[in-house]
Structure 1
Amino acid sequence: MKMNKAEARILLDRAKRDPVFFVTKVLGGDPWEKQEEILKAVRDHRRVAVRACHGVGKTRVAAWVALWFLYCHKNSNFITTAPTWHQVENLLWREIAAAHASSKYPLGGKVLQTQIELGKQWFALGLSTDKPERFQGFHAEHILLIVDEASGVAQRIFEAAEGFLTSPGARLLLIGNPTQLSGEFYNAFRSPLYHKIHISAFDSPNLKAGKIIRPYLVTPEWVEEKRLKWGEDSPLWYSRVLGEFPEQGDDTLIPLAWIEAAQQRWQMTPRGEPVELGVDVARYGTDTTVIILRQGSKAEVIAQLRGQDTMEVTGAVINALRETGAKVAKVDVIGLGAGVADRLKEQRYPVQEMNAGEAAQDKERFVNKRAEWYWALRERFQVGDIAIPPDDELASQLASLKYKFDSRGRIQVESKEDMRKRGLPSPDKADALMLAFAPTQSLTLKAAPRIIGRNSIAGIAW
């Protein structure tokens, strides 16, 4: 749509006062109530923090905020970041590029993968969080910092970026799924410096109407599915459905924040050594047999089976060994897993029997091997030495695990049976992950006995 300079100036003057007008009339967007609230909040407040559930358009509204700020304030800058470069490049900046390209009016500027250039002092950048010094040295009358998935961004980044807020026209938008019970994002909702916005799945138009009004937003079916799968006491229910910080006690084995950080690392983590399988064999009912591949610090669910007998499960493990080149399959031998391990040994495949109920290596510290193996897994999450796929079921099972101390002060991790008593499903994926990263013993494969045919000369003679 063409217009002269005077018309463009009138349009942008109006848009500067009204960011919702800019989104609807210039970008051609269709914001819903909470997205409009966020747009107006950034206009009116220096610091805005938005905690939101999944599927309510938070990344899209962050893109709209960014373009409104850049094009309605001459010689302005906006800087975006997120916990990983993948999130910067493929989430927020993809939304920014899409909104820029679909604008009703030509916005102008040179648009690159994570950069927009309008002039020497008029630009936008996407920055990764591995080097805090990159966030220093930006100065402009109008400057905006957007931190997407802010719960996972380290405090040192916020400290480095404090210089952004020295100018009178500076703005800071923190937006994301609430997962971590510490850090700038968590503290923002307890600080008078921030204007705070909360979005639950139950605020969305689809949930309010009880039917699909906006297909791209969270649906009633999705919420009900997660209620049945996770339960209303799950940390994932609090974070991803209610948009609340999860209520996690001191007895939580692996905090949700560590789990989500491991998920964020997964795309960027290379495969390495050792290459091993963790196999949790289903015992009965709704349990599933799960095979997880470990390649160095990277894990992947490669099979989830329900209703198969031991021979079928054995075949699936053999196929996984062949396909992945894994050096060993570590099989839970409590219950039906013993039959799977026996059949694998009989066929001379590399198998390690894993009995979580046996005495721990460190008997003074752990009740059994289950506790010892899970504690080692917890420590990997704590130091960032594990990357897991973005699998909600796996995340829910890990986040639901609890531990306690027995009368001798030893660590004991909640059993599958105890989790069922709490109304939770069997943590089959979590257990397979634990087995995949458990210590590996040196294997000595016995040669199969040589069979002499009954009708051969040797068989007849001897």
Structure 2
Amino acid sequence: MSMSDLDAEIIDLAASCDKDPLRWAMMAYDWGHGELADYSGPRSWQREALDEVGQALRNPATRFNPIMIARASGHGIGKSAFIGMVVNWALSTCEDCKVVITANTDTQLRTKTSPEVGKWQRLSITSNWFDVNATSVASRDTKHTKNWRADFVPWSEHNTEAFAGLHNKGKRIVLVFDEASAISDKVWEVAEGALTDEGTEIIWIAFGNPTRNVGRFRECFRRYRHRWLAKQIDSRDVEGTNKEQIAKWVEDYGLDSDFVKVRVRGMFPSMSSRQFISENDVTEAYGKQLQASQYRFAPVIITVDPAWEGDDELVIGMRQGLMFQILHKMAKNDNDLVVAQIVARYEDEHKADAVFIDGGFGTGIVSAGRGMRRNWVMVWFAGQSGDIGCINKRAEMWKAIRDWLKEGGAIPDDPVLRDELQAPEIVPRLDGKLQIESKKEMKARGIPSPNRADALALSFAYPVQQLTRQERLARELGIDNQQPRDYDPYA
């Protein structure tokens, strides 16, 4: 057979597999020979996932809906190999297909993801169609090089243009998130907003070890499960994994340990290594219903956590004993008088015994409240702690949240609050004092500002006693006969 005849057969095969990635994977590689001598084809879970893509493409009702595949897995299952096969199929069977691949770190992208994708391109029958290098796989046809390609793009929450520009109307787009658990929520949000081309095959693949129990990858298996074809893969059930090593891990750490959950069972951890508040404690409190008798005796505390940056939200919360609820949330508002009026309304409505406001961005709100004869208290997260085991007030308040949850605290059915409570991590210190990472540090690793959780934290700033009848009457009459309360944390 001449080379031209062979190329023609490959082109015909590619055309016939444009909606069948599993058939392409079976036909495009020399299984059982050379580097693939030990394999007769893709692993069982890989076949299943490839077929899921194919079924969605072959169904006219779903072909042009985003096909979103998520897999949380233990180690050694061959997820990079799957990515390599998918990318080769996508490029080989659709002219001017665009692929963008990112990973949790630049190192992962350069040293693991990119070489693996390159390997499966090199082993394919279409290896001569594309040029492979460390940052891209591009068509050798100079007329198509710019539009028919796969690019390896390090993610950055501050530079999301590569994901915002994912448009390829009438063709095919493939977006791959490798080790997706640590990719910033902002990148997920921008990517999701970009995948809107009409009449376009859109395939989004998110794979990784489930190292974090918060974030958008976690929500593929929870809040957004109805949108994703999401499955968790146990390394023990996959062909070719190191069963002896896995058995040692299970023996050493225990089947239900977070180590085995993440590295073997493909399950999200109960608590990540530096996580301060566990998923179990939050889950126990989530949506919990209390009888009024369980909290009505306690003082009512209103809290205000102002927006830090433009994309944050201002949150007003209320805690009474074991009960916490969000009263109001709004976009960043620099009109302190308007915010103060809202806070005052809630203070009166709920007959609050104290109002605590984050001093970082709430000084103007407190000043406006002073003009309305309100004795609100500013709380400085970076201020001195009343607990010698905590580095600052932030650590003290978050420690109080953790203890409150364990004592039976109840939070509303609010997925954002749930995730925010689990998000902050501990900052290791040589002196052993508790330090919780700041909002700035959280944003640096792609985690949104925990405004709702901080609203809860503020309720533990200082001890609060219920107002006396005289104090409450004076406030209702607008009589300024009391000095602002100076809370002594050592009282």
> Is residue 84 of structure 1 aligned with residue 110 of structure 2?
no
Q: How does 1:284-295 map to 2 (within 5 A)?
A: none
Larger displacement relative to structure 2 (55-64 or 43-52): 43-52
Deviation at 1:204, TM superposition (A): 1.1
Q: Which amino acid in the other structure matches residue 200 of structure 1?
A: D
Aligned to 1:200: 234
> Is residue 127 of structure 1 aligned with residue 150 of structure 2?
no
Aligned to 1:405: none
- Match of 1:166, SS? coil
2:47 to 36, 50, 71: 36
CA displacement, residues 295-345 of structure 1 (integer Å, 9 cap, x when unaligned) = xxxxxxxxxxxxxxxxxxxxxxxxxxxxxxxxxxxxxxxxxxxxxxxxxxx
Deviation at 1:27, TM superposition (A): 2.8
CA displacement, residues 241-293 of structure 1 (integer Å, 9 cap, x when unaligned) = 1101112399954889xxxxxxxxxxxxxxxxxxxxxxxxxxxxxxxxxxxxx
Deviation at 1:92, TM superposition (A): 1.2
Aligned to 1:136: 164
Q: Distance in 2 between matches of 1:65 and 1:251?
A: 35
Q: How does 1:244-393 map to 2 (within 5 A)?
A: 244-248=267-271, 253=276, 364-366=387-389, 373-375=431-433, 379=437, 383=441
Q: Distance in 2 between matches of 1:132 and 1:386?
A: 14
Shift in CA distance, 161/7, structure 1 to aligned 2, threshold 3 Å: same
Q: Distance in 2 between matches of 1:20 and 1:103?
A: 14
Q: Distance in 2 between matches of 1:385 and 1:219?
A: 37
Deviation at 1:36, TM superposition (A): 0.7
Aligned to 1:265: none
- Say what the alpha-carbon RMSD is for the aligned residues: 3.5
- Match of 2:201, SS? coil
Q: TM-score, normalised by structure 1?
A: 0.53
- Match of 1:78, SS? strand
Decide whether the 8 Å contact of 1:254 with 1:381 is kept in 2: no
Shift in CA distance, 175/25, structure 1 to aligned 2, threshold 3 Å: same
- Match of 1:51, SS? strand
Deviation at 1:229, TM superposition (A): 2.7
CA displacement, residues 407-434 of structure 1 (integer Å, 9 cap, x when unaligned) = xx9xxxxxxxxxxxxxxxxxxxxxxxxx
Q: Which amino acid in the other structure matches residue 240 of structure 1?
A: R
Decide whether the 8 Å contact of 2:101 with 2:151 is kept in 1: yes
Q: Distance in 2 between matches of 1:95 and 1:89?
A: 10
Structure 1: state its 5+ residue gaps.
206-213, 257-360, 388-408, 410-462
Q: Which amino acid in the other structure matches residue 159 of structure 1?
A: E
Aligned to 2:29: 27
Q: Which amino acid in the other structure matches residue 89 of structure 1?
A: R
Structure 2: state its 5+ residue gaps.
32-40, 57-66, 280-383, 392-427, 446-460, 462-491
Shift in CA distance, 104/133, structure 1 to aligned 2, threshold 3 Å: closer
> Is residue 171 of structure 1 aligned with residue 206 of structure 2?
no
Shift in CA distance, 6/199, structure 1 to aligned 2, threshold 3 Å: same
CA displacement, residues 67-104 of structure 1 (integer Å, 9 cap, x when unaligned) = 11111111110100011111111111110111111224
Aligned to 1:147: 177
Q: TM-score, normalised by structure 2?
A: 0.50
Decide whether the 8 Å contact of 2:84 with 2:121 is kept in 1: no
Larger displacement relative to structure 2 (117-126 or 75-84): 117-126
Q: Which amino acid in the other structure matches residue 219 of structure 2?
A: N
Q: How does 1:53-68 map to 2 (within 5 A)?
A: 53-68=74-89
Q: Which amino acid in the other structure matches residue 79 of structure 2?
A: K
Aligned to 1:222: 245
Aligned to 2:381: none
Count of aligned pairs: 274
Q: Which amino acid in the other structure matches residue 18 of structure 2?
A: K
- Match of 2:261, SS? helix
CA displacement, residues 164-216 of structure 1 (integer Å, 9 cap, x when unaligned) = 421331111111111222221111112211111221022212xxxxxxxx3xx
Aligned to 1:51: 72
Deviation at 1:18, TM superposition (A): 2.5
> Is residue 180 of structure 1 aligned with residue 212 of structure 2?
yes
Decide whether the 8 Å contact of 2:164 with 2:193 is kept in 1: yes
Q: Distance in 1 between matches of 2:128 and 2:273?
A: 51
